[in-house]
Amino acid sequence: MAIAYIALGSNLNTPVEQLNTALQTMANLPHTTLLAQSSFYQSKPLGPQDQPDYVNAVACLETTLAPLELLDALQKIENEQGRVRLRRWGERTLDLDILLYDNLVMQSERLTIPHYDMHNREFVIVPLFEIAPDLALPNGQKISDQYEKFKKHQMNVCN
């Protein structure tokens, strides 16, 4: 069994519904249990500002799926929910990113774990800290230390 943390994000086609549907589908994946989900946070876009605000959350899964099997399953959910990506760094119906998978460090063409930019993104660190305040990254960095720089965040909880 592995513990994986997944970032969810959407800013098109009723984002809250996109996230709720994705969470339900993840909870029903084979060999997988949804252990926790964060609140939903409304966040300003990282990237071009002429796009709607995002809704972001983080989920914790216990799974026996291998990392690339989990990636396949998440990409299938993105596609089933009619994934639209209009431009690079632009609006999208649903993003599901693997942030962490146990203490695994991997870099391949399809998948980099830990997520390469998670430590810079308040819409990742704040919900991750909400569900896993004692977590540390594979390099030993504590989530609680990363949360310090975002604790004055302005994101509204929207569920």
Catalytic residues: 83, 92, 95, 97
Between residues 38 and 43, which has the closer beta carbon with respect to ligand ROI? Answer: 43
Contacts 24+ apart (CB under 8 A), 21-26: 21/81, 22/77, 22/81, 22/94, 22/96, 23/57, 23/59, 25/77, 25/80, 26/59, 26/61, 26/74, 26/77, 26/96
Between residues 117 and 148, which has the closer beta carbon with respect to ligand ROI? Answer: 117
The nearest distance, CB 65 to ligand ROI, in angstroms, is 23
Alpha-helix residue ranges (DSSP H) falling in 28-80: 67-80
Between residues 30 and 152, which has the closer beta carbon with respect to ligand ROI? Answer: 152
Is the separation of the CB atoms in 55 and 16 below 8 Å?
yes
The nearest distance, CB 124 to ligand ROI, in angstroms, is 8
Question: Amino acid identity, residue 145?
Answer: D
Site string (26-65) toward ligand ROI, x via CB under 6 A: -----------------xxxxx------x-x---------
Read off the tokens for 114.
């830990």
Residues numbered 1 to 20 that lie near ligand ROI (CB under 6 A) are: 9
Which residues of the shown chain bind ligand ROI in the complex (CB under 6 A)?
Answer: 9, 43-47, 54, 56, 89, 95, 123
